[in-house]
Structures are given as structure tokens and as C-alpha cells.
């Protein structure tokens, strides 16, 4: 199960593992530093199991309950958040206020109570809000290929009404709609991006048949439609994020190399235009856009300690993007697989 989770934990996880092992000092907690670039609104990031809000020159820790690791925040229209709470054997989805007060626990995936087997637990990760704000999309390891007997973790993508009750079980998500069927033993499909026209863009891990796994950007026009690959296995692209214009896609591609490129392309219907490199030869991951405008955030490890910092690119959809600038202090090591959530509030 840990191997499957590592495969699905982000496009450059295998490249960054060696870098992370070179740490010589403990990372600084972000609240003890000052942002190097002061941006409007509020940016939510995660570090060492906690979620922090960056507002101008100030950083505060959300007062979430203790226990588990809080990660992958997403901002709702009213300023509240949906977040993941991850434990060693399962994870759950929560709705919380911008200060960290729990409004609702949306799933209950620890099935160990009264049971004797670990495989009844479930994972939910990479939440996303639908364009109209009434639905939530997520990756989960349901349905299990062999109910009540499988430890396999291959993620498929689902959607469910936001605010309604849904339950994740071995046979699927009660009250939810299944979107994807993963390639087995790869980690599956993750990082859903629901589009305005009702389509779904996501990262799909595929087995090459040669003992390796690659990532393509997949597009589905409906839950029952086949996936169309927008990128090639050779490009090895994942971690999609769509700008406020609804057509500019940011992604991370390895192009069969040992590092990655942060790239953008224009989505026209079910086709992706030429890819343009914004940042080359980086350990980049988890791009995310400002809620309005064309400014881009992403994670990158660029210093000798291998700390993943939050970076910023202005005018990333334009012909002349600004220079990449580091937002967090170089001593801060953020969660590389948790994209920053940028609220205009």
C-alpha cells in the first residue's frame, strides 16, 4: 500500500526523495518567518501536518484539532475550506472555517472499529470544488478490486454533492458518481480539475507494460465517456491546474528526464495546444492559480537542503511572464504534494 501511495503522491516524488534525504537541519516552521513576496488575499499551505494562512506579511496557523496530518486545502466561495486529514492507515475529508474550526467531517474512512483487518480502511485525497460550487471531486481507493480482501490502493475519481452525505466503501461511494477506472498497480487517477463545460481534467498513471509507470493528462467529457490523453507518455505530464480564464493549463512534465519542467498550454475543446516552458529543469510540483487573474503558485526545491518552497510567477498566462520569485523563506520545507490554495479574501 505504501508503494502505491508513493506512486500517486506526486509527479516528481521519486526525483525528490534523494534530495529530501540530504537535509542536514530541521526545517523552520513557516510561522516563524516572513514571506519574501507579499501577495494580495490569503494563501493556504501545509507543513508537517498543519495548515497555515499567508496574508501579506503575516502567517498564522489554523487552529485545527490535534491528531493526524492536515493537508490539501481548497477554498470555497464563502471563504471556508475543505481539507484532508490523513492518518497512517486512512484519510478523511473535512469542511472547516478559515480559522480551522471544524464545520463537518464529510467522510469516516477508519473501518477498523470492531474489525480485524486493515483493508477495510479507505483513502481520500486531492479534493477539488466543482465550478458551480455545489459539488466536490476527489480521488479514493474505492471500489476495491476484491471486496473485503484487497490491500491494493489504486485511486479512481469520484464526485459528490457538496454538503450531502456520502460514504466510501469497498464497492464504491454511496451518494457519489464515479468518473474514472484506473490502470491497476499504478496508483491510479488523481488531481481532478473539474472544468466549466462539465468535463474533468486529471492526472492518470499508466502502466507502460515495460515495468515503468508514466503520467498523462486525461480528459473526460462525462462520467461515462472514455478518457482522452492530452499528453504523451514520453512527455510524462501531471499535476494539472487551470487558470481563471478556463483554458490555460499549468502542469509539470519530466519529458523522460531526471528533473521536471513547469509548463503551460491552452485547452481548446478536447485538445491541448503546444506546451510552453515557464520554469525548466526544476523539482517543481503542485501548481495552482490565483482565484482571479493570471498569477501562478507552485512548489519547488531549489536550495541545497532540498526544502520545498512556495514560488510565484506573475502574468503566467501572458506572452512575457514575470521572473520566478520565492514566497516562503528558504529554511521552510512545505508539503510538495499539497498545492497552495489562493483566496481573494
- The residues spanned by each domain of the chain are 2-343
> What percent of the chain has pLDDT above 90?
74
pLDDT of residue 293: 84
Q: Tell me the H-state helices in the chain.
A: 2-7, 13-20
Under the banding of pLDDT at 50, 70 and 90, the label for residue 117 is low
Question: Does residue 70 contact residue 85 with C-beta atoms inside 8 Å?
Answer: yes
- Dist. CA 238–CA 236, nearest whole Å: 7
- Which stretch of 3-17, 225-239, 264-278, 312-326 has the lowest confidence by average pLDDT? 3-17
Under the banding of pLDDT at 50, 70 and 90, the label for residue 212 is confident
Beta-carbon contacts of 18 under 8 Å, excluding residues fewer than 6 positions away, are: none
CA torsion sign for 275, 281, 286, 292 is negative
CA distances from 302 to 16, 44, 45, 259, 307 (A): 11, 21, 18, 11, 7
The chain-wide mean pLDDT, for the chain, equals 89
Of 121, 37, 10, nearest in space to 325 by CA: 37
- pLDDT 10s digits, 318-341: 889 999 999 999 999 999 999 999
pLDDT of residue 302: 85
Topology of domain 2-343 in CATH is Neuraminidase (2.120.10)
Q: Does residue 271 register a pLDDT over 70?
A: yes
Q: Does residue 190 register a pLDDT over 60?
A: yes
Of 291 and 316, more confident: 316
Under the banding of pLDDT at 50, 70 and 90, the label for residue 303 is confident
Q: Tell me the Ramachandran region of residue 219: left when phi exceeds 0, alpha when psi lies from -120 to 50, beta otherwise.
A: beta
As to burial, measured by CB atoms within 10 angstroms (0-12 exposed, 13-18 middle, 19+ buried), residue 87 is middle
Under the banding of pLDDT at 50, 70 and 90, the label for residue 115 is low
Of 135, 175, 174, 142, nearest in space to 157 by CA: 142
- pLDDT 10s digits, 120-150: 788 999 999 999 999 999 999 988 876 666 7
Of 122 and 252, more confident: 252
Q: Does residue 19 register a pLDDT over 70?
A: no
Q: Which long-range contacts (CB under 8 A, 24 or more apart) does 77-84 make?
A: 77/133, 79/343, 79/345, 81/44, 81/51, 81/341, 82/106, 82/127, 82/129, 82/136, 82/162, 83/51, 83/127, 84/124, 84/125, 84/127
Look up residue 28 and give its DSSP letter.
Answer: B
Q: Does residue 4 register a pLDDT over 70?
A: no
- Dist. CA 144–CA 154, nearest whole Å: 8
Amino acid at each position: 500500500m505504501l508503494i502505491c501511495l508513493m506512486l500517486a503522491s506526486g509527479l516528481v516524488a521519486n526525483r525528490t526523495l534523494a534530495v529530501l534525504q540530504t537535509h542536514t537541519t530541521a526545517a523552520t516552521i513557516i510561522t516563524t518567518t516572513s514571506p519574501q513576496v507579499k501577495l494580495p488575499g490569503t494563501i493556504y499551505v501545509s507543513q508537517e501536518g498543519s495548515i497555515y494562512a499567508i496574508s501579506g506579511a503575516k502567517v498564522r496557523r489554523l487552529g485545527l484539532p490535534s491528531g493526524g496530518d492536515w493537508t490539501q486545502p481548497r477554498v470555497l466561495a464563502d471563504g471556508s475550506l475543505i481539507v484532508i486529514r490523513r492518518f497512517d492507515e486512512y484519510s478523511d475529508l473535512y469542511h472547516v472555517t478559515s480559522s480551522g474550526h471544524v464545520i463537518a467531517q464529510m467522510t469516516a474512512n477508519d473501518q477498523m472499529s470492531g474489525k480485524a483487518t486493515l483493508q477495510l480502511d479507505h483513502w481520500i485525497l486531492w479534493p477539488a470544488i466543482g465550478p458551480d460550487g455545489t459539488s466536490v471531486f476527489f480521488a479514493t481507493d474505492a471500489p476495491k478490486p476484491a471486496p473485503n480482501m484487497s490491500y491494493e490502493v489504486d485511486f479512481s475519481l469520484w464526485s459528490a454533492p457538496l454538503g450531502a452525505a456520502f460514504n466510501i466503501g469497498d464497492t464504491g461511494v454511496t451518494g457519489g458518481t464515479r468518473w474514472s477506472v484506473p490502470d491497476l498497480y499504478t496508483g491510479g487517477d488523481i488531481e481532478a480539475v473539474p472544468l466549466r463545460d462539465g468535463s474533468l481534467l486529471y492526472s492518470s498513471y499508466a502502466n507502460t507494460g515495460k515495468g515503468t509507470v508514466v503520467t498523462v493528462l486525461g480528459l473526460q467529457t462525462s462520467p461515462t465517456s472514455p478518457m482522452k490523453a492530452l499528453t504523451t507518455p514520453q512527455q510524462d505530464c501531471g499535476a494539472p491546474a487551470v487558470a481563471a480564464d478556463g483554458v490555460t493549463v499549468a502542469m509539470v512534465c519530466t519529458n523522460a528526464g531526471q528533473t521536471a519542467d513547469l509548463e503551460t498550454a491552452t485547452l481548446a475543446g478536447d485538445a491541448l495546444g503546444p506546451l510552453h516552458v515557464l520554469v525548466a529543469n526544476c523539482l517543481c510540483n503542485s501548481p495552482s492559480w490565483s482565484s482571479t487573474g493570471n498569477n501562478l503558485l507552485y512548489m519547488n526545491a531549489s536550495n541545497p537542503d532540498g526544502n520545498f518552497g512556495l514560488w510565484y510567477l506573475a502574468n503566467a498566462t501572458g506572452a512575457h511572464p514575470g521572473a520566478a520569485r520565492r514566497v516562503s523563506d528558504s529554511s521552510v520545507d512545505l508539503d510538495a504534494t499539497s498545492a497552495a490554495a489562493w483566496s481573494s479574501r
